[in-house]
Amino acid sequence: MKELAQQLKEKNLKVTPQRLAIFQMLTNTDEHPSAEAIYKALESIHPTMSLATVYKTLDALKKANLIQELNVGEDCFRYDARTHSHPHLICISCTKVVDMESIYLDDIRKRIEQDTNFDIVNEKIYFYGVCPDCKEKKED
Amino acid sequence: MKELAQQLKEKNLKVTPQRLAIFQMLTNTDEHPSAEAIYKALESIHPTMSLATVYKTLDALKKANLIQELNVGEDCFRYDARTHSHPHLICISCTKVVDMESIYLDDIRKRIEQDTNFDIVNEKIYFYGVCPDCKEKKED
DNA sequence: ATAAATGCAAAACCTTTGCACGCCT
DNA sequence: AGGCGTGCAAAGGTTTTGCATTTAT
């Protein structure tokens, strides 16, 4: 995997400690954290970093297509370092968000383009349900 | 189609002129208006109605499952009187939102349940692209 | 050196809430 | 009569913006 700093440079983004920390955190987690969660997670390492910087950085990374913004229906956005389009599964019990690799997305796109005559360029797909862990707990 | 007033009563919602107007407007449009748009559209007929009432009414209708709330990634919600789950197509050029009747949604659900072991109860599916009208305009 | 990023505070935005008044059943 | 709905204003929370300072290239 390409160095994170290198990826920033290629997008003409200056490499600052704050940016690296945020980008790195997002690439190393699968928890789809919110801006607030990122801010708190990095608090101990970057005590002077402000929430505004987190938002500005996320905006820069988003525009550079290095991360994507998720809107799972909560009161805030979540962020995902996987930029290729893929559906997300949200557990309505524990609110965790899980990535889904979709093999059938291309098929669906094509069918929709045929049916509607839209040129599809992107999609946001969220499935809501109960995750295996929470199902188990309820059975107890 | 069942009388709108009747539908409200069945959900134990009192029938007020404001509620009827909002519910009626939503059932008679396919434009997926925002709260603000609803407010402005009804301004001439209900000059005293406040935006807070629009929000409260939308919340009541939503909880009664008479409408659904859409989050297409704008800075505000949109509302849809079709409550059954269906994908939406958003034109990235003119921002219009179009309903999609999906025959294959059941198939997709089943496959996802098999793949992930989630119990899926709902989904939000938004496709983004260029609508036929805007494609035509660009060719001119 | 220069342009961009940071951090603080304040603003902006949509949406929600509290409360008094009025209306529906 | 009683409770729910309305409307006004104020509050709420997340996200954005302005601006001076600091930092990266």
- Give tens-digit pLDDT for B67-111: 999 999 888 999 999 999 899 999 999 999 999 887 778 888 888
Q: Is the pLDDT of residue B139 over 90?
A: no
* Domain containing residue B55: 1-83
Sequence-separated contacts (24+) of B110-117 with Cβ below 8 Å: B111/A104, B112/A87, B112/A89, B112/A100, B112/A127, B113/A129, B115/A100, B116/A89, B116/A98, B116/A100, B116/A132, B117/A131, B117/A132, B117/A135
User: In terms of pTM, does the model score above 0.75?
Assistant: yes
Domain count, chain A: 2
Q: Are residues A74 and A90 in the same domain?
A: no
Closest nucleotide to A19's CA, by C1' atom? C5
Q: Are residues B24 and B67 in the same domain?
A: yes
How far is Cα B70 from Cα A51, in angstroms, rounded to an integer?
28
pLDDT single digits (tens) B17-51: 999 999 999 999 999 999 999 999 999 999 999 99
pLDDT single digits (tens) A48-74: 999 999 999 999 999 999 999 999 988
Q: Which residues 62-91 of B interface with strand C at a CB distance below 7 A?
A: 75-77
Q: How high is the pLDDT of residue A98?
A: 94
**For strand D, is any atom closer than 7 Å to the CB of A95?**
no
| Ranges of chain A whose pLDDT falls below 50 | none
Q: Which residue has the tokens 């072991």?
A: B117
Q: How high is the pLDDT of residue B2?
A: 67
Q: How high is the pLDDT of residue A2?
A: 67
Pick the last residue of a domain from A83, A105, A125.
Answer: A83
**CB distance B127–A129 less than 8 Å?**
no
Cβ-Cβ contacts under 8 Å for A10 (sequence gap 6 or more):
none
Q: Are residues B99 and B74 in the same domain?
A: no
Q: Are residues B49 and B117 in the same domain?
A: no
